[in-house]
């Protein structure tokens, strides 16, 4: 790690990286197949952080960090944070992308970002991990916006037009989180094995086409996209999000 933050903040960030790695190893049977060293840059000034970002991302006021995967090493760049919670959320979000890479998984964008947001909401309370809490600013965006169609959500890529607008970018992240939260924590009548089959196939099969994704969805959930979107909308309106320890 290269950091001009106070030593205590830098050590906290390193501890968070190790915490998430241990969690994935224990609960998700994480296996590192493609070892890559990782370099972390942790800035104390926003201007220094922005100097490392891509031109198209500098207008995103909410950008707090990013992950880059290279041939021989990965890089995570972190902006300064006003509080411990925000700093931890950023570390958890960006490190998930590295863990996917290290396990040789290339999930579609909705799954990668949804899982990153799900992990970003982890809280440490009295030496216990609480998994499932929403990230506050994502929740505000979700409740104030009309949901994207699942065709749009599942078909999104970094080059999608929606990412030209920060409003749509925020909604994409929030809805990706909400869908996974509904499936894993929502206590609905959605069969867990259907969720597992859909998610595991999206993780293991690279480059599913929109038609293949739709066919997989239908075979797993036995419903149309519109019905799942309706159920997700009802879940979001209730605004009650369960967490586990």
Report the CATH number that the domain containing residue 89 is assigned in CATH. Answer: 3.30.2010
**pLDDT interval class at 164 (50, 70, 90):** low
> Whole domain around residue 74: which residue ranges?
1-105
pLDDT of residue 37 exceeding 80: yes
Which of 71, 105, 139 finishes a domain?
105
**pLDDT over 70 for what percent of the chain?**
94
Q: How far apart are CA 9 and CA 103, in angstroms?
A: 28
With 70 as the cut, is the pLDDT of residue 167 above it?
no
Average pLDDT, whole number, for the chain? 87
* Same domain (yes/no): 117, 229: yes
Predicted structure pTM score:
0.87
Q: Which pLDDT does position 21 carry in this prediction?
A: 85
> Which residue, 71, 43, 46, 72, is CA-closest to 58?
46
Same domain, 242 and 123: yes
State the pLDDT at residue 163.
65
Strand spans (E) along 97-231: 123-125, 128-130
The yes-or-no verdict on residue 80 having pLDDT over 80 is: yes
pLDDT above 70 (res 162): no
Q: 130 is written with which tokens?
A: 């609480």
Share of the chain above pLDDT 90, in %: 49
Q: Rounded mean pLDDT of 50-70?
A: 82
- Kindly tell me if the per-residue pLDDT of 171 is higher than 80: yes
Mark which of 72, 105, 138 sits at the end of a domain.
Answer: 105
Q: Specify the pLDDT at position 100.
A: 87
Residues 229 and 199 in one domain: yes
Same domain, 72 and 119: no
Q: Are residues 92 and 176 in the same domain?
A: no
Q: Rounded CA gap, 113 and 173, in Å? A: 6
Distance CA 185, CA 230 (A): 17
Same-domain pairing of 112 and 93: no
Residue 169 and residue 49 share a domain:
no
Same domain, 85 and 124: no
pLDDT at 31 over 60: yes
Residues 60 and 110 reside in one and the same domain: no
Residues 18 and 134 grouped into a single domain: no
Q: Which is it for strands 123-125 and 73-78: parallel, antiparallel or unpaired?
A: unpaired
Q: How many domains does the chain have?
A: 2
Of 54, 75, 105, the residue at which a domain comes to its end is 105
Do 91 and 212 lie in one domain? The reply is: no
Indicate if 65 and 177 belong to the same structural domain.
Answer: no
Top-ranked range on mean pLDDT: pick from 74-78, 104-108, 202-206: 74-78
Q: Given pLDDT bands bounded at 50, 70 and 90, which one contains residue 79?
A: very high
């Amino acid at each position: 790690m290269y950091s001009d933050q106070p030593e205590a903040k830098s050590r906290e960030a390193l501890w968070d990286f190790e915490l998430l790695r241990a969690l994935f190893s224990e609960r998700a049977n994480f296996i590192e197949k493609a070892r890559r060293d990782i370099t972390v840059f942790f800035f104390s000034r926003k201007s220094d952080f922005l100097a490392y970002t891509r031109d198209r991302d500098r207008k995103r006021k909410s950008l707090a960090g990013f992950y880059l995967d290279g041939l021989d090493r990965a890089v995570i760049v972190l902006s300064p944070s006003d509080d411990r919670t925000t700093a931890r959320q950023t570390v958890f979000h960006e490190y998930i992308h590295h863990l996917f890479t290290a396990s040789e998984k290339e999930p579609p964008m909705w799954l990668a970002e949804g899982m990153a947001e799900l992990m970003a909401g982890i809280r440490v309370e009295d030496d216990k991990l609480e998994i499932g809490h929403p990230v506050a600013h994502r929740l505000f965006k979700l409740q104030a916006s009309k949901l994207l169609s699942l065709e749009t959500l599942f078909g999104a890529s970094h080059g999608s037009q929606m990412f030209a607008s920060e409003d749509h970018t925020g909604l994409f992240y929030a809805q990706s989180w909400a869908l996974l939260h509904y499936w894993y924590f929502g206590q609905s009548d959605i069969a867990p094995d259907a969720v597992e089959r859909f998610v595991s196939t999206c993780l293991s099969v690279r480059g599913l086409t929109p038609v293949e994704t739709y066919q997989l969805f239908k075979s797993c959930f036995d419903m149309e996209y519109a019905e799942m979107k309706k159920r997700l909308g009802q879940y979001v309106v209730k605004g009650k999000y369960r967490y586990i320890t």
